[in-house]
Amino acid sequence: MTETSTARPLALGYVRPQHGQTPAQVGRLKAELSFWAWREGWFLGPIWTERGEPSGFEALADAAVRNEARAVIVPGPGHLSPAQVAALSRRAHVAVHLVHPK
């Protein structure tokens, strides 16, 4: 009998910590991304954390193109601007999924 594998599509994560969030709070956001991705059928690759300069976003976009990711998962709408969502869609052809849409 032949075994078949259903590989999960690759998603990458992105977190932009809000002012005053502690490392523990950021860690919980990353854990939420991981659980959500697993529950929704994604393989979650690296999670980028923005540190105040746009390099985190640029690295995320480059990795999405390079690794042919199908999605980017973020905690909520405040983590990517509408322009960044549009840039990811145009440049990397990925969907952006929000763990907490409101």
- The domain in which residue 24 lies consists of 10-98
For 11, phi and psi rounded to 5 degrees?
Answer: -125, 150
Confidence of residue 19 (pLDDT cuts 50, 70, 90): confident
pLDDT of 52 reads 67
Domain assignment present for residue 22? The answer is yes
Mean pLDDT for 39-66 is: 89
Q: 53, 77, 74: which is closest to 64 by C-alpha?
A: 74
- Whether 37 and 72 have beta carbons less than 8 Å apart is answered as no
Q: How large is the greatest C-alpha to C-alpha distance in the chain, in angstroms? A: 56
pLDDT of 3 reads 52
CATH number of the domain encompassing residue 52: 3.40.50.1390
The pTM for the full model equals 0.87
Domain assignment present for residue 1? The answer is no
- Tell me how far apart the alpha carbons of residues 75 and 29 are, in angstroms, rounded to a whole number: 7
